Amino acid sequence: MTDRIERAQRGDQGAFEQLYRDHVDRIFALCVRLSGDRLKAQELTQDAFVRAWEQLGTFRGDSAFSTWLHSLTVNVVLGAARSEARYRERVMSDEEKVQTAVASVADPGVGIDLERAIAALPEGARTALVLHDIEGYTHAEIAERQGLSPGTSKAQLHRARKLLREALNR
Amino acid sequence: MNCEDARRRLDDYADGSQPELERHENDGHLSGCAACREEAESIRGLLADLKAQPREMAPDADMWPAIAERTGGARTVKVDFRRWARSGAIAAMAAAAVVVIAAVSTLVVEWQTEQLATAMQRREYRAPALLVELRAVHKSYAKSIGQLTTALQHRRDSLSPETMAIVEQNLKTIESAIAEAQEALAADPSSKGLLRAISGLYAAKLRMLRSVGITNG
């Protein structure tokens, strides 16, 4: 374990700031792709680093710090998505749900690049695609984090790839 | 193999996760079917583009100020006994408060562990080994925390109110994390990962107390 991490674990916020600066670009990219929304990704990135600060004591050096932080971030993002889904079900009217879904999809009339196409995917499909095809998770790992079966993860991935190819006219 | 079978397997074929026997079957079909071959190439092209996406993105703004505010601005504790010598009354009050905090923390740890143990038993948890391990973790750390509390008594003149404020804040943060982890363990009693996390948090609590410049015994 590096000296910087140990100092951060003892409460040295200067050391933690250095860890933040070392890893923020990677974590932000992960949050952007999983959430499909840059503004939301800013909040999620903050949430991830705050959670990392709170749970630094649990990092024992069994894996690389970047791996630990990455895994923690995935949990933060997926947790936020579940909370948001519950809120939508409980609070939003049907009309609001439709309006939100429409607003979150990129305008297909505009030339669509890959990142925008990923952002426009339905949430479950986007999660499977980002974690499997970009971040290298296995279906078993994706399924465990989401409380799904590996078969469902595979189905979501298949759907994501199909939608992406259609959006990109391939 | 027909096109329908081949296309059902094309995702695994294209990303190389297909078992070898199935891959050979797909190879055979694709060698004679231009449409399926084109489909496979389309998936492979997409996967190559996805893998080529940059792993990093610069945020639109520096988020550190907001994160620093939310994490409470805890600082490294440095003990300089000469600089921080205080009057006996103030140092005694400060040290007494820290002792009370440490003692209450020990009691909170004991209470939390027993609450968790009760919750686990109530759920008819059938992994007594993990419960025994949890009690052993608690027992080993409770002893050290108790020893540090005693050691603190002998060093009370060395501590300033600033130091105490930092110790209190850090203890609060760690206790909150322990409570959260124990709650999660009560919901998922088979998780050895959570047990390791709780053990790690106790260790962090000890390191924090030791960073004030006191040692066991």
pLDDT digits (tens, 9 = 90+) for B129-147: 566 667 777 766 776 766 6
Q: What is the pLDDT of residue A54?
A: 92
Nearest CA in chain A to B10: A158
Compute the distance between CA of residue B133 and CA of residue B185 in angstroms, rounded to an integer: 13
Nearest CA in chain B to A26: B56
For chain A, list residues with pLDDT below 50: 98-111
Query: pLDDT band for position B80 (50/70/90)?
Result: very low
**Cross-chain Cβ contact A58/B197 below 8 Å:** yes
Closest Cβ opposite residue B71 in set A13, A28, A129: A13
**Are residues A46 and B66 in contact, defined by beta-carbon separation less than 8 angstroms?**
yes
- Residue A13: list chain B partners with CB under 8 A: 68, 71, 73-76
Dmax over Cα atoms in chain B, in whole Å?
92
Nearest CA in chain B to A32: B57
DSSP A169: T
Angle at the Cα of A132 (from A128 to A137), degrees rounded to 5? 115
Whether ipTM tops 0.90, in short, is no
- Residue A54: list chain B partners with CB under 8 A: 71, 173, 176-177
- Residue A164: list chain B partners with CB under 8 A: 46
Which tops the pLDDT comparison, B9 or B175? Answer: B9
Compute the distance between CA of residue B188 and CA of residue B211 in angstroms, rounded to an integer: 33
pLDDT at B122 over 70: no
Query: pLDDT band for position B172 (50/70/90)?
Result: confident
pLDDT at B159 over 60: yes
Q: What is the pLDDT of residue B105?
A: 53
* Residue of B18, B63, B209 to mutate, testing the A interface (most A Cβ within 10 Å of its Cβ): B63
Q: What is the pLDDT of residue B169?
A: 74
Q: What is the pLDDT of residue A91?
A: 58
Report the SS3 class of residue B72: coil
With CA atoms as reference, report the closest residue to A41 among A58, A64, A25: A25
Q: What is the pLDDT of residue B189?
A: 67
Closest Cβ opposite residue B75 in set A11, A55, A134: A11
pLDDT at B15 over 60: yes
- Residue B204: list chain A partners with CB under 8 A: 9, 56-58
* Residue of A30, A53, A72, A118 to mutate, testing the B interface (most B Cβ within 10 Å of its Cβ): A53
Which tops the pLDDT comparison, B53 or B123? Answer: B53
* B133 Cβ contact list (under 8 Å, min separation 6): B195
- Residue B8: list chain A partners with CB under 8 A: none
**Cross-chain Cβ contact A11/B74 below 8 Å:** yes
Closest Cβ opposite residue B59 in set A15, A28, A54: A28
**Cross-chain Cβ contact B204/A56 below 8 Å:** yes
Compute the distance between CA of residue B59 and CA of residue A24 in angstroms, rounded to an integer: 8
Which tops the pLDDT comparison, B189 or B21? Answer: B21
- Residue B70: list chain A partners with CB under 8 A: 46, 50
